[in-house]
Amino acid sequence: FLSYLDLIIQYNSEMVEAFEGHTKALKELDKSIQTYGDRSEVRAIKQL
């Protein structure tokens, strides 16, 4: 039973690390989406 708990604890810590990376990526994606319309390429296309 203790081995099982050790595996659960290890898995949980790995999931926390993965979620931290995913959270960072989602925040960067949100920032990128918000600033997308400010790019010169997008402005040029909108003027067509």
Global pTM?
0.60
In whole angstroms, what is the distance from residue 18 CA to residue 26 CA?
12
Q: Burial of 12 by CB count in 10 Å (0-12 exposed, 13-18 middle, 19+ buried)?
A: exposed
What length does the chain have?
48
- Tell me the pLDDT band of 1, cut-offs 50, 70 and 90: confident
In whole angstroms, what is the distance from residue 48 CA to residue 29 CA?
27
* Residue 7 · residue 13 · CB < 8 Å: no
What does the pLDDT look like over 2-48, one tens digit per residue? 999 999 999 999 999 999 999 999 999 999 999 998 899 998 998 99
